[in-house]
């Protein structure tokens, strides 16, 4: 199983990095976790055909995690001539939000039916489904105010925090995972909606950990963080755009 960092930056593209999203590649094909505005370009830079994506799992509906959706669709309809089905999951409201993005960017195209099936699944914390051949479990993330919902996900044996502040539920998300893709927006604690290295270092189990959604602080302290992780017995890698990691 390989994981690619399609982007590794925060919402502000700090230090010139793309919006964080992840690409899973295994014997069931390709699946993305989130799909920000820079994701389509990243896929093509990796030499991956967007039409080979079998599933996209959105953790929440902020633009840096969803804004690549209309570009994926316009590529599928007008260049790739996609016919294969696409499985999409996300929190409540995902279907409406994604359709609104498609309509806002390509109003005429959005009036026509897509030439391929899109299978939508809206997930709430605590739900679990088999999607595109993988088990997908949804956990509550601490990131958005009601009625909006943000999720962390367990896809197979890999945990994805999405955007979240520190909270007790992260222990459940990480328990039993064989690898973790976590956000690390900040170097020090103080942001209730995002994780920092100072919080993560006491939460992480001793499994491979990939850090993304990196702000300027963690990016500048990369060598220091990875060195400290090693002294704690942790296997931590701060990702850059297009990094590929073989997990097993």
| DSSP codes of every residue in 158-203 | EEE--S----TTHHHHHTT-SEEEEE--BSSS--TTS-BHHHHTTT
Query: How many residues make up the chain in this entry?
Result: 248
Sign of the C-alpha dihedral, residues 25, 26, 28, 33? negative
- 106/84 Cα distance (integer angstroms): 21
Using CA atoms in the order 93, 209, 32, 141, what is the torsion angle rounded to 10 degrees?
A: 0
- 94/201 Cα distance (integer angstroms): 32
pLDDT at 227 over 90: yes
pLDDT the model gives residue 76: 98
- Mean pLDDT of all residues belonging to the chain: 97
Q: What is the CATH number of domain 2-246?
A: 3.60.15.10
pLDDT at 159 over 90: yes
Confidence of residue 248 (pLDDT cuts 50, 70, 90): confident
Tokens of residue 175, six digits: 């328990």
Contact 83, 51 (CB under 8 A): no
Is 235 strand, coil or helix?
Answer: strand
Query: pTM (2 decimals)?
Result: 0.97
Q: Domain segments of the chain: what residues?
A: 2-246
- The two most distant CA atoms of the chain are separated, in Å, by 56
Task: Determine what percent of the chain is predicted with pLDDT higher than 90.
Answer: 100
């Amino acid at each position: 199983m390989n994981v690619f960092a399609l982007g590794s930056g925060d919402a502000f593209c700090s230090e010139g990095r793309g919006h964080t999203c992840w690409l899973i590649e295994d014997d069931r094909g390709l699946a993305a976790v989130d799909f920000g505005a820079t994701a389509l370009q990243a896929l093509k830079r990796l030499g991956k055909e967007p039409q080979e994506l079998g599933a996209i799992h959105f953790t929440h509906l902020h633009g840096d995690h969803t804004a690549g959706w209309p570009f994926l669709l316009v590529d599928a309809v007008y260049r790739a001539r996609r016919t294969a089905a696409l499985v999409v999951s996300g929190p409540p409201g995902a279907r409406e939000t994604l359709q609104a993005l498609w309509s806002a960017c390509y109003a005429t195209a959005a009036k026509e039916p897509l030439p391929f099936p899109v299978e939508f699944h809206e997930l709430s914390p605590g739900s679990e489904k088999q999607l595109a051949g993988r088990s997908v479990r949804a956990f509550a993330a601490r990131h958005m105010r009601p009625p909006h919902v943000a999720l962390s996900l367990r896809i197979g044996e890999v945990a994805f925090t999405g955007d979240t502040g520190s909270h007790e539920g992260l222990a459940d998300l990480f328990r039993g995972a064989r690898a973790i893709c976590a956000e690390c927006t900040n170097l020090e604690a103080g942001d209730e909606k995002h994780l920092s290295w100072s919080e993560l270092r006491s939460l992480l189990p001793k499994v491979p950990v990939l850090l993304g959604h990196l702000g300027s602080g963690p990016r500048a302290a990369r060598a220091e963080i990875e060195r400290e992780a090693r002294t704690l017995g942790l296997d931590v890698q701060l990702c850059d755009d297009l990094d590929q990691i073989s997990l097993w």
